[in-house]
Structure 1
Amino acid sequence: MTYFITNQLSHHHTPRIYAHSSTPQPSAGSLTHSRTMPSHRRFILSILLLLLHISPLTATPPSSNHPDLAPLLSFKSSSDVSNKLASWNNSSDPCHSSSKFYGVSCLHNRVTGLVLEGLNLHGRFDSLASLVKLRVLSLKRNRLVGPIPDLSNLTSMKLLFLSYNQISGELPPSLPSLFRLDLSHNKLEGSIPATLNRMTDLLTLRLEENQFSGSIEFLNFSNLQDFNISMNNVSGEIPASLAGFSYSVFLNNPALCGFPLLQCREPEIIAPDVASSPTSLPWTADVPGNKKPGNNGRSKISTLAIVAIIIGDVLVLTLVSLLLFCYFCRTSAEESTNEKKNVQQVEKTVYPIPTATSFEKGRMVFFDGARRFELEDLLRASAEMLGKGGLGTAYKAVLDDGYVVAVKRLKEVVTGGKREFDQQMEVLGSLRHPNVVSLKAYYFAKDEKLLVYDFMTNGNLFWLLHGNRGPGRTPLDWSTRLKIAAGAAKGLAFIHTSVKLIHGNIKSTNILLDKSFNACVSDCGLSSFAPPTAALRSAGYRAPELSSSNNRKPTQKSDIYSFGVLLIELLSGKCPSMVDISGILDLPRWVQSVAREEWTAEVFDLELMRYKDIEEEMVQLMNIALSCTSGAVDKRPTMDHVVKMIDDVDGTGEMSPGNESFDLDYNSPSVIEP
């Protein structure tokens, strides 16, 4: 049998060996072939050529030139004692789909996520500090040692999870600006650096079961949701920014005090030694010669004076008590009589609706023939104030039969008279759509105007997004936000298309939510009654063409601009009425300045970081918002088109289960890649 080697290379550049039972025919790929050469010489030459190629056949193929390969392989060689990272080798690309490394996630061909949990990894992890594009690092439940390396160059890092290891040393003063930091169950020591306060977006800080010491009074985090520093040696008073957490997160720190633990004690004043001596009583300390009390007449005088004072006090207190008793008995009798006379007129309101004297010249007008209550029923109802706006105050009113309505008391309104007001109310009362709040009735008088609506049990979008951003807050999940966006869009499209109206005041406080979190647009058409000052309160939503100088009236296109701002608010969690250095925060301009070249996590609400597979959906919705907020009026889409675009956004982002995936629990990372 004759052997020869072809010069045809595979995609791995590895020479191939072919065996033939007969003499091979001439071919372009044969390096040695001659019919005139003796067979034994051909055989010897083939053996020599085979030996020359043994080295390329058995050697490792050339390694990849990927910029993150070397740090990964260095970490594997020093830490992977159990060979759990067998897929990591120097012949593969860590980001290529066909040879992707275990626990590694990439973006734009750079390693951005490294999740290696419970793999019995040993040693240090300093080499991973060279992964400059890393956003997520989770090495929890391993056996890593040594101090935390300098991670200051990892400016993109947002999530760092190193819990349940044997990491020691002090906490580095220069960590990246993280969203979540979990260093619990290690051997870290020393004081907590004040530079942690630079992490203004920090949501999670877990430091329990370490050996930290020193004070934590300087810690101040406005967005912190998950915190624990129990089982350490920190001391001093708990700062106000952390006092909202439960006492369990501070336990087993003997020198720590303040709410919710025991109150810190005031410094004790130690009396002089002479006062603490059994033979030096208070009234003899200043007497020369240390005379006994029996030899001084002042002792008897003092005793008589004390007795006289006590007797006088008792007589005075007795006399005052008798006078007060008589007074309160008479007052109580008068109040009891008045209560019997006025029991039917008692107001039960927490934030009262105005009294009946204001309504003597008006009447209630109902729509759809549903006259379920009268004006007197509203006046007797238990009322709770829901909020104040540019047009007046809104109340939740519970009638005697348990029926609940929302009552808006208009105060700062400009109307042309009762006829104009009635005509506008007739139009608004005819609006019936699942995503528009229904006007049930209204009342008009010279000094009082009431609007009665269906009550929405889940309040408004503003409070769901911005209310209680501290501990104990229930975040607004992604699917609900997308549902709200779609519902509000359908409601505004109905107002624009079916009834040809202009809303004029689209903002998050005017998007109400029912018990199923269906969005309903409220305050439709009331902008025509608004005074000039009301426009200033909605400046963050107002279209640029409606500047205060030109006095132009709202249009459907300006409604669409306001709706675009609302979508950005829903995605970013930022309030358009926030004030920055330049004044009212211009959300569309802010988004464009942050994401000049590509989307980053900075644009989106931190509470959305816990969901996976929603990046594309969020970017789609943000692009819709930016098209709505175009500076060119004619380039803004219609609301019908906006509804179709939002419906095309999938909205199936789920909470991340599993070990390699990202989940809701603080122990596992979650990330939104740009």
Structure 2
Amino acid sequence: MARKLSNWVLSLMLTTFFVSSWGDDAEILLNFKNSLSDNSALNDWNSSTTPCTGDTPNWTGLRCSDGNVSVLILQNMSLTGVIDIDTLAQLPLLRSLSFMYNNFDGPMPNVKKLTSLRALYLSYNNLSGEIPDDAFSEMNNLKKLHLARNQFTGKIPSSLAMEKLVGLSIEGNQFEGKIPNFPDTTQLTTLNMANNRLEGKIPASLSKFNSSSFTGNNGLCGKPLKACSSSKKKTILIIVVIVAVVIALAAIVGISYKRSKRSKTPNELKKNQETRALQKYGAYDMGQKEKEVPYSADQLGGENGKLFFVRNDRERFELQDLLRASAEVLGSGSFGSSYKAVLLSGPAMVVKRFRQMSSVGKEDFHNHMRRLGSLSHPNLLPLVAFYYRKEEKLLVSDFVSNGSLASHLHGKRSPGQPGLDWPTRLKIIKGVAKGLAYLYREFPSVPLPHGHLKSSNVLLDHTFEPILTDYALVPVMNKEHAQLYMVAYKSPEFNQSDRITRKTDVWSLGILILELLTGKFPANYLKQGKGGNADLANWVNSVVREEWTGEVFDKDMKGTRNGEGEMLKLLKIGMCCCEWNAERRWDFREAVEKIQELKERDSNTDIEDSSSYNSEDYGYSSRPLTDDDFSFSVNG
């Protein structure tokens, strides 16, 4: 009896020790909050309330079960610093954890201390370095792991190849080497390893997944990708390549000689000044007067240069194929020259030359191009391939034959050719908003997801669906050149305080809306350096203030009866996006939400007077993950 009593006392002492070492959830969470560099998003985490009341959370980002914290969702809060795993490990019932869309940096946290965790989301941060091979060795309950869009290097940890894992997302990093052997009994149902540096044969246990799970890893082979080559086939391939290069060199010499003679013909030299200006303005870019000749082998460092493809859904071609292709100059703008190259195999590509990216290192440039190549949206012009030299770069994309929005708004039309009507313009701005929304999601920590949004960078396909180009180039542009030419740096906030924010692209969107509705070109875009670009916005404000709103709209915008009210709504959206004070300017999600609500014809509701337009009337809410992603029961 005495022995049983002694054991009971010892057990009680141990239980008391562990409970006191854990502390309650409130104390643990407050300690974690204090470990963050910027915890302003967690202002309601304070000692005056408890984190949970039963199953009801009282603090931001929590899910509760029986008064305990079971799920922590701290997404898109601009959190920085190092994730304090030691503190979080003291939460006894923590099952799901998400820090997606933040700015945490440093190495992979020591998450194996969270042995009860079932779901871990760390995607879209700045975590880097190699992950230890045993990083997940003690996480026997882990079901979902998301590490996408960080900067991890080295091999994929073998401890990830666990049978119970059902979802794995590691795309958009720099993992290299072979994929570890997942067991044949793996329970994986979702997998994404795209856009890394993996190589070797895909394990048979993963061959059931779609090829999109592995795209962007040029060294991978085997089902569902192409079959792995034998050494004999490689030898034959090398011989074929050598022969092809010799033939190509001979062809280049002959074609270059013919082209040099042909380039001097009067028909090609005969272009009037107005046509050249329209090409510069309408096709891609404008502002730079320098004329350039098409790229040549000498300019690109010889014929041995290599094109790097960032997409697997395009037919491969070599740099020599571009050199042999017939080239047509589309424009010479602030970034450089653009050419239409028709390959001998048939497709037409656009080659853009950039000389103002010399300050970015080779590895950083390659990484950013791979990231651009991983983007996929119907309203973005996909990057197909790139060529790297320190002095200049080539970006290769598809050719869009219907020209740019700028050319349709401001270029000369053929006799009888109608201008863009209201339904078409509405379709265009909705597509632009969708493309921008995608960029905002893909670049959550980049201040300027686009950075150069203007009508000449909105291409139109044959159905007048808009396709954005020259997006997300700010990280690789030389800073001085970007500040001279890029649209974002002509914004009011950069004029006033040399700063840009997440709302700067919203200002560019507002200017584009006003240009689309008025048919007037924001002329200050042509000025180097700080331009303000306030001319168009000021003019629209002055007209609306004088109650001449009907005078604002482009006379060519016809074709829909009873559409004036919806046009006015879009005009008001543009004005709210062009608010000079960035603090009062609409948030991007707010603008997109209101754009998508627009219709071709007026509704039965009365249209507000423009003077009473109040952006506070419009709210929005969005969340990257749904509750279904955190649906693990505490006990299951």
TM-score (norm 2): 0.45
TM-score (norm 1): 0.43
| Structure whose alpha-carbon radius of gyration is higher | 1
